[in-house]
Structure 1
Amino acid sequence: MPRPLRVAIVGAGPAGIYAADALLKSAVAADPGVSIDLFERMPAPFGLIRYGVAPDHPRIKGIITALHQVLDKPQIRLFGNVDYPGDISLDDLRTFYDGVIFSTGATADRALDIPGIDLKGSYGAADFVSWYDGHPDVPRTWPLDAEKVAVLGVGNVALDVARILAKTAEELLPTEIPPNVHAGLQANKAVEIHVFGRRGPAQAKFSPMELRELDHSPNIEVIVNPEDIDYDEGSIATRRGNKQADMVAKTLENWAIRDVGDRPHKLFLHFFEAPTEILGENGEVVGLRTERTELDGTGNVKGTGTFTDWDVTAVYRAVGYLSDKLPKLPWDVESGTVPNEAGRVVEATGEHLRSTYVTGWIRRGPVGLIGHTKGDANETVASLLEDHAGGRLHTPEAPAPEAVEAFLAERNVRYTTWDGWYRLDAAEKALGEPQGRERVKIVERDEMLDASGA
């Protein structure tokens, strides 16, 4: 009797779980069956949902419900707190599996090459997000002593950073933020946040709903300069062809023509301002210099030679995420991705790296919303199954499921399981219950492992 197809997925965020779901829905899952093991370096699954989405976005976190249903399937096992390649290497994975899919995402900040970027008070948005989301591997405190702050970028991460900086700690207390984050935000001195984009309203990458949510806080006054509302032929074409871009532009137009209110925290959205230098004194941020830009007819912009110095003492760059290079896999330095064709990893020689695949942001770069990774997963899984049908997958030496558990035990790897997630989930909910909160996130890795029964 033929054995089930054995597949390892490295990374248990949305991309990896969508790939598992696609495998389960394939014909192979019925005959002869498929057996999937998800390896995750964090003690808990869900990746970006748990450690990359702002805590005041329960709607987005609701995606966990759908991902839960996938991980509940008996054909799937979770091995959390297992690091690639520290605990298990590609060669090790090939010992146990017919195919390996990497879905490790992107967690680092993309570089911004302007003078002053390394000054004290200049931060990467990804680092700040990890702090307020209770990531176990980052410091427990964050310096929040700047009264005036700049955020560089006009995507949803920039909005998240600006909103968390502008809200009060008490507004965020009903969310799942851990005690150290709440204490840090109580000491936050920011009362004026400036968000900068080098192009215009039609080119902003905000989601319409996320943008509108800025205005829902009783403490945040959102301000748009009427002079920043400008369109050229390229911008008009973008609005006509993209409903979301049009909705964003309309929201910004409405904010630009209204009177400024008296909410205590001011959040300015600036367009046509390209950051050129972070200004410093004695090694610390004392300002931001931008160059005014103008549209060139195509939706792109050019510099005008007019510069402005902004009085800020902290700068957050939210100009994109960057994936970490994966050992034993080829790497495209420019895009920060693994070269691939339809998810198949491609070596420098042009040959496919046998039985090895990628999906999600490690495959195509950190663009698009969470749901967009579904299409990636479907295509990658189709490639794997096509190779399986064509006899192009290698044959593992030890395909028995228990062989992996024995391997991790022999390496003294303290790993978590899907049952362990249920225990951790219950522990976090129990912490929140006395305060009337849905949960309080556990931060320390050892505490997460203990709660999980690792």
Structure 2
Amino acid sequence: MAYVITQRCCNDATCVAECPVDCIRPRPDHPEFATAEMLYIDPDTCIDCGACADACPVEAIFPEDSLTASLARFRDINATYFQHHPLGPTFDSIVPAMRPPKDLGTLRVAIVGAGPAACYAADELRRRCGAEVEIFDKLPTPWGLVRAGVAPDHPGTKTVTRLFESAFRGDAVGFHLNVEVGKHISHEELMVHHHAVLYAVGASSDRRMGVPGEDLPGSHSATEFVAWYNGHPDYADRVFDLSGPRAVIVGNGNVALDVARVLTVSPDALAGTDIADHALAALRDSNIREVVLLGRRGPLQAAYTGPEFMALRHLDGVDVIIDEADLALDPLDRAVLDNPDAGPSLRLKYALAEEYAGDRADPGNKRIVFRYLTSPTGIHGSDRVESIEFAHNELVDRDGQRMARATDRVERLETGLVLRSIGYRGAAVADLPFDEARGVVPNERGRVIGADGFPIVGVYVSGWIKRGPRGVIGSNRVDSAETVEHLVADFVAGRLTAPTGDRVALTALVDERQPDVVDRAGWKAIDLAEQAAGTPDGRPRVKLTDHDDLLDAARTAKVPS
């Protein structure tokens, strides 16, 4: 019997290092790791020891004989990967990570952001050299998109926070939540108190479509909608019109699929999750019966991953609708699919699309409809969204890439809700250079590069603000390890300026500037209050979605019992 990696895989590769027979691929040092949808276990080599399952931070690995019906297909998906990528040599030599000599003293690092990239970096610094790390975030709660971005019906993905909670139990990592860098404390002041400052602020804005009517009421970014149903306090008061029968999502990546699921599954199925109460109430009153996803290119270029696309098959009361005509491939795409070197992920996505196209729809079910080769040209309505117009595209080959080109064939769909899900975008960070074209802070493997083309001493980046909004939660582990490797190397080489302020002085400064700072004890009080509120109904937590309520809960940690 072998173990099997399934849909929840976060790609953080913790399991790779734990496997005693090195049968998990791709490894972080392999070229295909950067684009892999998930990791895979070779069933012919696995010795059924369970070390990988114990190490997995998101509970994505199971013995093959315990796979549920919705996960059973992953047995073949794992095996198929190794038919295309034979295991080959194992136990390649790995260069030991650099550890600073003890006589250099304690490395002090400030990390701006509290999402996965920040937490992986903090854990790496803690394990690598016992560094003192201070985490700053403008929200009263940590974990970034794990808390505010992961769909509520994916609770397994959120268990990665247990890894961070466990790693940060000691005093080596300090929390300064509800503190905004640039407002309550400056970059220069952080540099005074630390050897280095590492920014892991993600990609907080989103791309726009640039079409007429995009700003009409009823047209929103999927970023807003996701933050709303996940209880982000800055978005809790948003209102989305769910009174019509149809919603249209522009884009077909995994975030678009998350939104489509939330809009179509029974609210009863969401009632046991950590979805925000205000969102659950709105979804119970929703009239939406159909969600249409508009994809710019064809089924081979669709942005969703195979595992997330496959999971739609197991939604109760929801049909996935694809027109067989939309799956017709031009000669170039057909050649790509028929090429023996075509990856199993590509074949899986197309095979799934064919299966959905061949399914018989139930008139009583809600519908998720995929439309390929479409680009919005305008959103129409007198004082709010009433319809969306889109052009049908054709694929052209440009510099070896399949690009979408609009034709003169135009179609219009009636809808009262349009959600654009065409990608996150990084926002400029105060006091740091910024690449407007790419939406990232310019850097070389994590070292921030100044206008003169040289690294800025002591300033680093990790996560989406470093590489752009791509990859999944676990992708940040390898990314953060790279940044930390260079930060530690600079410390050892004497390139970092020693801080003149210590931890006590920093805490005093933060307390003076922001009396409502939430420390680790304050966050724990929030966490316990939310969990206690969810216990009567069997929910993991009931999120506090108001800033004042969050701070009130945090203050209970300062009141003697």
Which residue of 2 is the match for residue 421 of structure 1? 523
**Other structure's SS at 1:266 match:** strand
AA partner of residue 211 (structure 2): I
1:116 paired to 2:213: yes
More displaced stretch, 244-253 vs 187-196? 244-253
Which residue of 1 is the match for residue 79 of structure 2? none
Which residue of 2 is the match for residue 451 of structure 1? 553
For residues 112 and 431 of structure 2, what CA distance do their matches in structure 1 show? 14
Whether the aligned pair in 2 keeps the contact of 1:141 and 1:180 (CA below 8 Å) is: no
For residues 338 and 256 of structure 1, what CA distance do their matches in structure 2 show? 43
- Offset at 1:87? 1.1
Whether the aligned pair in 1 keeps the contact of 2:236 and 2:546 (CA below 8 Å) is: no
Gaps of 5+ in 2: 1-102
Structure 1 residues 234 and 353: alpha-carbon distance in aligned structure 2, compared to 1, 3 A threshold: farther
Counterpart of 1:237 (choices 331, 336, 343) is: 336
**Other structure's SS at 1:451 match:** helix
Whether the aligned pair in 2 keeps the contact of 1:428 and 1:439 (CA below 8 Å) is: yes
Which residue of 2 is the match for residue 215 of structure 1? 313
- Offset at 1:383? 1.3
Which residue of 2 is the match for residue 315 of structure 1? 418
**Other structure's SS at 2:386 match:** strand
For residues 170 and 336 of structure 2, what CA distance do their matches in structure 1 show? 46
- Offset at 1:234? 4.4
Counterpart of 1:395 (choices 475, 493, 498) is: 498
Which residue of 2 is the match for residue 299 of structure 1? 402
1:13 paired to 2:115: yes
- Per-residue CA deviation, residues 254-298 of structure 1 (Å, 9 max, x unaligned), is 001121123431110111112222122x13222111211233365
Which residue of 2 is the match for residue 142 of structure 1? 239
More displaced stretch, 156-165 vs 202-211? 202-211
1:233-382 matches, within 5 Å, as 233-234=332-333, 236-237=335-336, 240-280=341-381, 282-296=382-396, 299-382=402-485
Whether the aligned pair in 1 keeps the contact of 2:300 and 2:333 (CA below 8 Å) is: no
For residues 242 and 196 of structure 1, what CA distance do their matches in structure 2 show? 25
- Offset at 1:145? 2.1
For residues 374 and 236 of structure 1, what CA distance do their matches in structure 2 show? 36
Counterpart of 1:178 (choices 255, 273, 276) is: 276
Percent sequence identity over aligned pairs: 35
For residues 343 and 241 of structure 1, what CA distance do their matches in structure 2 show? 33
Whether the aligned pair in 2 keeps the contact of 1:416 and 1:452 (CA below 8 Å) is: yes
- Per-residue CA deviation, residues 329-382 of structure 1 (Å, 9 max, x unaligned), is 001111111011111111122122110000000111111111111221111111
Structure 1 residues 5 and 296: alpha-carbon distance in aligned structure 2, compared to 1, 3 A threshold: same
For residues 544 and 445 of structure 2, what CA distance do their matches in structure 1 show? 38
More displaced stretch, 236-245 vs 301-310? 236-245
Which residue of 2 is the match for residue 409 of structure 1? 511
AA partner of residue 362 (structure 1): I
Gaps of 5+ in 1: none
For residues 197 and 58 of structure 1, what CA distance do their matches in structure 2 show? 27
- Offset at 1:236? 5.0
AA partner of residue 318 (structure 1): S
AA partner of residue 84 (structure 1): V
AA partner of residue 40 (structure 1): D
**Other structure's SS at 2:526 match:** helix
**Other structure's SS at 2:422 match:** coil
For residues 163 and 149 of structure 1, what CA distance do their matches in structure 2 show? 12
Structure 1 residues 249 and 413: alpha-carbon distance in aligned structure 2, compared to 1, 3 A threshold: farther
- Per-residue CA deviation, residues 55-85 of structure 1 (Å, 9 max, x unaligned), is 1111211222222222224311111111111
**Other structure's SS at 2:405 match:** strand
Could you say which structure has the greater relative contact order, defined with CA pairs below 8 angstroms and 6 or more residues apart? Answer: 1
TM score, norm. by length of structure 2: 0.76
- Offset at 1:137? 1.3
AA partner of residue 233 (structure 1): L
More displaced stretch, 298-307 vs 83-92? 298-307
For residues 111 and 317 of structure 2, what CA distance do their matches in structure 1 show? 43
**Other structure's SS at 1:296 match:** strand
Whether the aligned pair in 1 keeps the contact of 2:447 and 2:455 (CA below 8 Å) is: yes
- Offset at 1:3? 3.2
Structure 1 residues 344 and 2: alpha-carbon distance in aligned structure 2, compared to 1, 3 A threshold: closer
Whether the aligned pair in 2 keeps the contact of 1:17 and 1:70 (CA below 8 Å) is: no
Which residue of 1 is the match for residue 125 of structure 2? 23
1:440 paired to 2:545: no
What is the RMSD computed on CA atoms of the aligned residues?
1.8
For residues 236 and 185 of structure 1, what CA distance do their matches in structure 2 show? 44
Whether the aligned pair in 2 keeps the contact of 1:235 and 1:299 (CA below 8 Å) is: no
1:88 paired to 2:185: yes
- Per-residue CA deviation, residues 121-143 of structure 1 (Å, 9 max, x unaligned), is 11111011111010111242422
Structure 1 residues 245 and 69: alpha-carbon distance in aligned structure 2, compared to 1, 3 A threshold: farther
Structure 1 residues 290 and 12: alpha-carbon distance in aligned structure 2, compared to 1, 3 A threshold: same
Counterpart of 2:298 (choices 193, 200, 216) is: 200
AA partner of residue 456 (structure 2): L
Whether the aligned pair in 1 keeps the contact of 2:179 and 2:514 (CA below 8 Å) is: no
For residues 235 and 534 of structure 2, what CA distance do their matches in structure 1 show? 22
Whether the aligned pair in 2 keeps the contact of 1:141 and 1:181 (CA below 8 Å) is: no
For residues 368 and 235 of structure 1, what CA distance do their matches in structure 2 show? 27
